[in-house]
Amino acid sequence: MGKAEAGKMAGKPTKQAAKTAASSTTAGGGPAQERTLRSQGKKTLRKLLDAAIVVFDERGYHAARVDDIVRVAKTSHGTFYLYFSSKDDLFRALLADVGEEMVALSELLPPITRDRAGYEALRAWLQQFYALYSRYHPVIRAWMDTEVNSLDLEGLGVDVLGGFMTGLIKRVREIDPPPVDDPDTAALAMVAMVERFSYFAVIQIIPVELDVMLDTLATILHNGLFGGIDRR
Amino acid sequence: MGKAEAGKMAGKPTKQAAKTAASSTTAGGGPAQERTLRSQGKKTLRKLLDAAIVVFDERGYHAARVDDIVRVAKTSHGTFYLYFSSKDDLFRALLADVGEEMVALSELLPPITRDRAGYEALRAWLQQFYALYSRYHPVIRAWMDTEVNSLDLEGLGVDVLGGFMTGLIKRVREIDPPPVDDPDTAALAMVAMVERFSYFAVIQIIPVELDVMLDTLATILHNGLFGGIDRR
Amino acid sequence: MGKAEAGKMAGKPTKQAAKTAASSTTAGGGPAQERTLRSQGKKTLRKLLDAAIVVFDERGYHAARVDDIVRVAKTSHGTFYLYFSSKDDLFRALLADVGEEMVALSELLPPITRDRAGYEALRAWLQQFYALYSRYHPVIRAWMDTEVNSLDLEGLGVDVLGGFMTGLIKRVREIDPPPVDDPDTAALAMVAMVERFSYFAVIQIIPVELDVMLDTLATILHNGLFGGIDRR
Amino acid sequence: MGKAEAGKMAGKPTKQAAKTAASSTTAGGGPAQERTLRSQGKKTLRKLLDAAIVVFDERGYHAARVDDIVRVAKTSHGTFYLYFSSKDDLFRALLADVGEEMVALSELLPPITRDRAGYEALRAWLQQFYALYSRYHPVIRAWMDTEVNSLDLEGLGVDVLGGFMTGLIKRVREIDPPPVDDPDTAALAMVAMVERFSYFAVIQIIPVELDVMLDTLATILHNGLFGGIDRR
DNA sequence: CATGAATGAGAATTCATTCAT
DNA sequence: AATGAATGAATTCTCATTCAT
């Protein structure tokens, strides 16, 4: 499902440990990729990435100005371009982080069983997803937006989604009897629901309690996947 | 997987489709709302609205330049500002249309029963939704992106999402026994899944056949709402 | 004092009677100068000129849009250009009116004597000036503004001032002994004071009663011209 | 009589003169007031302010395009907006300078006595006023035109005209016996005459020698304020 | 005579990116 | 490694004037 042309980013320093989200980001990709960052430099890089998330959150990717990011990061324009070759470049760095974490998360999804344990496992996983989502939602949103994709992010973006879905599809396929004809489509539907609901929850389009949200999502999904209803 | 295969399904809004849209426009919302339009004026207004949908589709709302819209509509800059005070203003006009249609559609959702008829009714309704969505998706997408941010859409008179959900919530509440604790949240989850899946389908992020998509969505939703699973 | 190149406007219909200010204006100068106006046309012409004064008053000449004038006059853009070849053209028409009235007024200034009668005559004349000024001040202001003069109004504008001052200078010269070395300069100073004070009064920069204003102006001027003060 | 002979008197503000002006500018008032300027920044700010005066002089405030200012200042559009948020903003900055200097000047007006010393003091002060006026006349003119209209100059902190007049009113009040009933009105008349005459002189609407002008103004004013004429 | 619609050159403004220190 | 300043292409918006009916 992933696109073969992944690897475009080869050459750039890859992340080693992505446990601590934004604060651990190391992906640089600045104009001089080879630059080795000292602790000072790493701090500045982190400041910029964190600031970008904040600004993307406030104004969205398009409306975010380099100026805003730089102001929030308490640094200068010049410095920005010391670390990133462009606004897009920074975005790509962020997206690489998110992608990695999302794929890792998708692999954490346990087999989903029909019983209470399966339900609970699903719910627990959703909670993790939501945690990730709420941290990175400005990036994820921008990424979902095709407008951004235009700028060669396809190679990266689609890959992320692909990788993420691979994990889910595997689990849906395991379900027996198959609840739907096409597990791939079902997995996509799951992703759609979870992603968008998370979005609604994050932006508080309607106030929702975390617990209620998780219960509802888990119930609908679990029922949806296992509910062999008698339709007569 | 790429965007190239697009067109498989409902396709992009054609002038034809958009025309219907435009014709339902209540008012142009020109700089000075008082302008009364004669037949020629109405034609131009329609041309602009149609062109905007086309351009929003091609480049997205943010990237769309007034210049593009004007070129597609085969008219001039000056004329644009004769009908709309800004790109945002045009967007609002379009959104008002969508909102109206979406609310109308939500009211068409029949009671959902546990039997085959309920399933079929749900599926039929989803098909209608998708038709509407594929016509207006550039607008809906931009709106979703916008909702909280920037634009003052308040003045729209219609709380689009709210109006849309009211209809759904009513149906979810009718279900007995209640599948979930909070019908409102469930309705929101439905909307989330349907909206985002439609988006994935429209942009062809992954190739999906219309029938498969409707089957899958309808199944998951129907099961989700009625499937009283034995979780032990 | 007037510029020889006056007469540039020759060929345009000149006014016959300018007694009733704006409402009597007949100067057309439209694209087709020869057009003979029926009563309908005269009414429209008048509406436009009156509207222009109103709009110039509200927004000033530069900020005044043809659109504003046309709206106030309750007519259309097309009609505007039926009567005037441009915004400047309309302005010139207005200015011709003002100029004529101002010259006529300057000729009405009686000889100024040292006694009470001279003072009263001066005061009465100032009152007339103020009446004229307050009617036409938007036009006079714009005219005083060199920015406008740029557009070939010089021939007209300077002439007006010149004609106006000729009358005053005559009276200042009659004063014996001469209060100042240069009567021309003194006349210009008078004009300056009266014009600008009228402006302040009209725009109510500071609230001033008409009577107080006339008393003050007349006193300062009368004293200024006759006061042989003992400066030791 | 035309503008061509301009330069006879004080002349147009030279870079030199304008420099003085700029250097008294309290703050640039850039888009984000918080910008702290280093020496280079200050130089550019000054260049822009100087250029603006030059251009306002040549074309007037309304006709002046940012483009012109930028060209004269030998800098770029972008830079302009680095220092000012708009043409109006620049104007306000300039006006603040003028206002400050005008108030300062008004405080320099000495008590006016009936004797020769009083006359000379008045004349000397008028000369200072004219120097200030000829330096800033493009700004003052635009301001007079603007005062009531459009621009929100309120925020200026200084009620320029008001501040200026306060000084004059004080002196007029000291005169005994009072030459006129209302000293405030008399002061306003003084201002009117002096301001407008200066304008006429600066634009050389009629050629006037500086000395003659000062003699005339001083004489009329002095007589006007002290001349107890026997009007019978 | 009158009108609503259309036009497009011109002006203002923004902001990603580069430069000089 | 960092910074403030500068740049200018790209874009939005305005409005006097012309056009078609």
CA/C1' separation D150–E13 (Å): 20
Strand F nucleotides where any atom sits below 7 Å of a protein CB: 1-20
CATH classification of the domain holding D139: 1.10.357
Confidence of residue A46 (pLDDT cuts 50, 70, 90): very high
B43 — contact with chain A (CB < 8 Å)? no
| pLDDT at B11 exceeding the cut of 50 | no
Q: Determine, for residues C231 and D118 on separate chains, whether the beta-carbon distance falls below 8 Å.
A: yes
Would you state the pLDDT for residue C208?
A: 87
- Contact list in A for residue B212 (CB cut-off 8 A) is 181-182, 185
| pLDDT at A188 exceeding the cut of 70 | yes
Confidence of residue A166 (pLDDT cuts 50, 70, 90): confident
Q: What is the overall mean pLDDT for chain B?
A: 78
Strand E nucleotides where any atom sits below 7 Å of a protein CB: 1-20
Do B134 and B170 lie in one domain? The reply is yes
Would you state the pLDDT for residue B13?
A: 40
Q: Which residue is nearest to nucleotide E3 (CA to C1')?
A: C76
Question: Is residue C56 a part of any domain in this protein?
Answer: yes
- Contact list in D for residue C1 (CB cut-off 8 A) is 1, 206
Q: How many domains does chain D have?
A: 2
The 3-class secondary structure across chain C, one letter per residue, is CCCCCCCCCCCCCCCCCCCCHHHHCCCCCCCCCCCCCCHHHHHHHHHHHHHHHHHHHHHHHHHCCHHHHHHHCCCCHHHHHHHCCCHHHHHHHHHHHHHHHHHHHHHHCCCCCCCHHHHHHHHHHHHHHHHHHHHHHHHHHHHHCHHHHCCCCHHHHHHHHHHHHHHHHHHHHHCCCCCCCCHHHHHHHHHHHHHHHHHHHHCCCCCCCHHHHHHHHHHHHHHHHHCCCCCC
Other Cβ atoms closer than 10 A to A96: 20
| pLDDT at B10 exceeding the cut of 50 | no
Mutate to test the interface with B, among A1, A141, A204, A231 (most CBs of B within 10 A): A231
| Mean pLDDT (whole number) for A206-222 | 90
Q: What is the pLDDT of residues B186-203, one digit of tens each?
A: 889 988 999 999 998 988
CATH classification of the domain holding C186: 1.10.357.10
Q: What is the pLDDT of residues A59-68, one digit of tens each?
A: 888 889 999 9
Do B56 and B142 lie in one domain? The reply is no
Would you state the pLDDT for residue C152?
A: 55
- Chain centroid to Cα B22, Å, comes to 14
Would you state the pLDDT for residue B193?
A: 92
What is the distance between the alpha carbons of residues D67 and D57, in angstroms, rounded to a whole number?
Answer: 15
Q: Determine, for residues C60 and D145 on separate chains, whether the beta-carbon distance falls below 8 Å.
A: yes
Task: Please give the residue that has the higher pLDDT: either B17 or B179.
Answer: B179
| Mean pLDDT (whole number) for C136-151 | 72
| Range C135-138 contact pairs with CB under 8 angstroms and sequence separation of 24 or more | C135/C21, C135/C22, C136/C21, C136/C22, C136/C53, C136/C94, C136/C97, C136/C98, C136/C101, C137/C57, C137/C198, C137/C199, C137/C202, C138/C53, C138/C56, C138/C57, C138/C60, C138/C61
Among residues B88, B115, B135, the one where a domain terminates is B88
Would you state the pLDDT for residue C136?
A: 92
| Mean pLDDT (whole number) for D204-228 | 85
Domain residues for the domain of B133 are: 91-226
CATH classification of the domain holding B41: 1.10.10
Do B124 and B213 lie in one domain? The reply is yes
| High-pLDDT (> 70) share of chain D, % | 75
Question: Is residue D3 a part of any domain in this protein?
Answer: no
Question: Is residue D231 a part of any domain in this protein?
Answer: no
Do D101 and D70 lie in one domain? The reply is no
Q: What is the pLDDT of residues D25-63, one digit of tens each?
A: 444 444 545 466 677 878 899 999 999 999 999 888 888
Verify D-B touch: 3 or more CB pairs within 8 A: no
CA/C1' separation C232–F1 (Å): 75
Find the closest chain C residue to D207 by CA distance: C185
Confidence of residue D225 (pLDDT cuts 50, 70, 90): confident
Specify the range with the lowest mean pLDDT, choosing from A166-170, C3-7, C47-51, D120-124: C3-7
Do B105 and B217 lie in one domain? The reply is yes
Task: Please give the residue that has the higher pLDDT: either D194 or A99.
Answer: D194
- Side-chain-side CA neighbours of D81 within 13 Å: the count stands at 5
| Mean pLDDT (whole number) for B71-89 | 94
Among residues B31, B55, B88, the one where a domain terminates is B88
CA/C1' separation B64–E12 (Å): 20
Would you state the pLDDT for residue D23?
A: 40
Task: Please give the residue that has the higher pLDDT: either C216 or D152.
Answer: C216
| pLDDT at C140 exceeding the cut of 60 | yes
Among residues B88, B113, B131, the one where a domain terminates is B88
Q: Determine, for residues A206 and B184 on separate chains, whether the beta-carbon distance falls below 8 Å.
A: yes
| Mean pLDDT (whole number) for D162-174 | 82
Confidence of residue D179 (pLDDT cuts 50, 70, 90): confident
Question: Is residue C6 a part of any domain in this protein?
Answer: no
Kindly give, in sequence order, each residue whose CB lies less than 8 Å from that of residue A78, ignoring residues fewer than 6 positions away. Answer: none
Confidence of residue C172 (pLDDT cuts 50, 70, 90): confident
Do D122 and D203 lie in one domain? The reply is yes
Specify the range with the lowest mean pLDDT, choosing from A199-203, B216-220, C146-150, D164-168: C146-150
CA/C1' separation A66–E16 (Å): 7
Q: Would the pTM count as exceeding 0.95?
A: no
| Mean pLDDT (whole number) for D166-185 | 82
Angle between helices D160-174 and D87-108 (to 10 degrees): 10
Question: Is residue D174 a part of any domain in this protein?
Answer: yes
Whether the beta carbon of B76 falls within 7 A of nucleic chain E: the reply is: yes
| pLDDT at C97 exceeding the cut of 80 | yes
Specify the range with the lowest mean pLDDT, choosing from A181-185, B121-125, C48-52: A181-185
Would you state the pLDDT for residue B224?
A: 82
Q: What is the pLDDT of residues B174-189, one digit of tens each?
A: 887 777 788 889 889 9
Specify the range with the lowest mean pLDDT, choosing from B139-148, C212-221, D48-57, D180-189: B139-148
| pLDDT at A7 exceeding the cut of 50 | no
Would you state the pLDDT for residue D22?
A: 39
Sign of CA dihedral C149, C150, C156, C162: positive
Please report which helix (H) or strand (E) contains residue D156, including its range: none
| pLDDT at D83 exceeding the cut of 90 | yes
Confidence of residue D159 (pLDDT cuts 50, 70, 90): low
Question: Is residue A7 a part of any domain in this protein?
Answer: no
| Mean pLDDT (whole number) for A41-70 | 91
Q: Which amino acid is at C179?
A: P
What is the distance between the alpha carbons of residues D214 and B130, in angstroms, rounded to a whole number?
Answer: 83
Name the A residues in 175-204 with CB < 8 Å from any B CB. Answer: 179-182, 184-186, 188-190, 192-193, 195-197, 199-200, 203
Question: Is residue C80 a part of any domain in this protein?
Answer: yes
Q: What is the overall mean pLDDT for chain D?
A: 78
| pLDDT at D109 exceeding the cut of 80 | yes
Question: Is residue A16 a part of any domain in this protein?
Answer: no
Task: Please give the residue that has the higher pLDDT: either A144 or A219.
Answer: A219
Do B19 and B67 lie in one domain? The reply is yes
| pLDDT at C19 exceeding the cut of 50 | no
| Contact criterion met (CB below 8 Å) for B118 and B222 | yes
Do D82 and D98 lie in one domain? The reply is no
| Mean pLDDT (whole number) for D117-131 | 93
Kindly give, in sequence order, each residue whose CB lies less than 8 Å from that of residue C187, ignoring residues fewer than 6 positions away. Answer: C165, C168, C169, C172
Would you state the pLDDT for residue D214?
A: 95
Task: Please give the residue that has the higher pLDDT: either D166 or C22.
Answer: D166
Would you state the pLDDT for residue A36?
A: 65
Q: What is the overall mean pLDDT for chain A?
A: 77
Kindly give, in sequence order, each residue whose CB lies less than 8 Å from that of residue C138, ignoring residues fewer than 6 positions away. Answer: C53, C56, C57, C60, C61
Find the nucleotide nearest C89 (Cα to C1′): F16
Do D143 and D202 lie in one domain? The reply is yes
Do B135 and B221 lie in one domain? The reply is yes
Task: Please give the residue that has the higher pLDDT: either C162 or C50.
Answer: C50
Partners for D (CB, 8 Å, 3+ pairs)? C
CA/C1' separation C80–F14 (Å): 19
What is the distance between the alpha carbons of residues B179 and B157, in angstroms, rounded to a whole number?
Answer: 33
What is the distance between the alpha carbons of residues D219 and A28, in angstroms, rounded to a whole number?
Answer: 78
Nearest-neighbour CA in chain A from B30: distance (Å):
25
Confidence of residue C167 (pLDDT cuts 50, 70, 90): confident
| High-pLDDT (> 70) share of chain C, % | 73
Task: Please give the residue that has the higher pLDDT: either A3 or D199.
Answer: D199
Tokens of D137: 């006349």
Q: Which residue is nearest to nucleotide F3 (CA to C1')?
A: A76
Do D113 and D209 lie in one domain? The reply is yes
Would you state the pLDDT for residue A86?
A: 93
What is the distance between the alpha carbons of residues B151 and D169, in angstroms, rounded to a whole number?
Answer: 51
